[in-house]
Amino acid sequence: MNRLPVTEKLAVNKYELDEGHPHIAVNEEVCRAKCKNLACLYVCPANVYSEQNGRIMADWAGCLECGTCLVACPSDALQWVYPRGGFGVIYRSG
């Protein structure tokens, strides 16, 4: 059984970054008006989301494409699509 910490497992993955084509966008207006629990900050296994001065930021380059944030966002403030073909995460650890 592989007992590496999650951070080390994530470091094994490769990411093909599609510069200038973010596949995640946060609708700040909806987020600010409707969201009360900031679920995205807690559910993302890759820590893609952060809060800076009251704004939710998405560092989409490290996204694992699991879709958890879409399910967890209570206010539908996320626009999310898969990266274009040939881009995004490449799993190397099972």
DSSP tag of 62: G
Closest to ligand SF4 by CB, 66 vs 90, is 66
Cβ–Cβ < 8 Å for 78, 44: no
Q: What does the binding site for ligand SF4 look like in residue numbers (CB under 6 A)?
A: 24, 43-46, 48, 63-69
Alpha-carbon span 79 to 26, nearest angstrom: 6
Instruction: Write down how long the chain is.
Output: 94
Closest to ligand SF4 by CB, 1 vs 94, is 94
Residue 89 CB, shortest distance to ligand SF4, in Å, is 8
Closest to ligand SF4 by CB, 1 vs 6, is 6
